[in-house]
Amino acid sequence: MLRIRLRRVGAKKQPLYRLVIAENEWPRDGRFLEIVGRYNPRTNPATIEVDEARILHWLGNGAQPTDSVHQLLDKVGTLGRFSRLQKGEALEALLAEAKIAAETASANTSRRTQSDKFVPSTKKKAPAAAAETSPAA
């Protein structure tokens, strides 16, 4: 059975994931058929990039998403568009809608929020300040 699942890439303690199409029996980080997206949980908010046309193709051919991928695709809106595709909506219209949604999501996503930015301290060290103000005798 074909699955749409996460494949871990990235350094130690810095996970990045690829959404891939793979057989159920194949190892998690092993063989796969196609890369259909990326997921970065370390950004704020998490970055999810999917190739909507290929995911809709594989879902139509019977590939099943894992639970975690199901949540990601639901958040992006791909599963809703797939159900509309099955009801008879045009694929081109759904892909155009997905492209607009992806552009607005990428415009609203930033690596750091305003509160996360580094603000240097303006305090001076106490010994240096005392040396400047001590009277010369």
Q: In this structure, is residue 12 part of a structural domain? A: yes
Q: In this structure, is residue 135 part of a structural domain? A: no
| CA atoms of 41 and 92, how far apart (whole Å) | 30
Q: In this structure, is residue 71 part of a structural domain? A: yes
Q: In this structure, is residue 93 part of a structural domain? A: yes
Phi, psi dihedrals of residue 53, rounded to the nearest 5°: -65, -45
Tell me the average pLDDT of the chain: 83
Tell me what percent of the residues of the chain surpass a pLDDT of 90.
Answer: 42
Q: In this structure, is residue 130 part of a structural domain? A: no
Q: In this structure, is residue 125 part of a structural domain? A: no
Of the candidates 30, 121, 122, 37, the one whose C-alpha atom is nearest the C-alpha of residue 78 is 37
Q: In this structure, is residue 117 part of a structural domain? A: no
Tell me the average pLDDT across 71-80: 91
* Structural domain count of the chain: 1
* Residues spanned by the domain of 9: 2-110
Q: In this structure, is residue 82 part of a structural domain? A: yes
Distances (CA, A) of 47 to 1, 36, 106, 107, 115: 28, 14, 8, 11, 19
Model pLDDT for residues 10-44, shown as the tens digit of each residue: 899 999 999 999 998 888 878 899 999 999 999 98
Q: What is the pLDDT of residue 22?
A: 93
Q: Taking the alpha carbons of 16, 19, 20, 23 in that order, is the dihedral positive or negative?
A: positive
Q: What is the CATH number of the domain that holds 104?
A: 3.30.1320.10
Which class for 77: exposed (0-12), middle (13-18), buried (19 or more C-beta within 10 A)? Answer: middle
Answer whether residue 51 shows pLDDT above 70. yes
Q: What is the DSSP letter of 114?
A: G
| CA atoms of 87 and 105, how far apart (whole Å) | 26
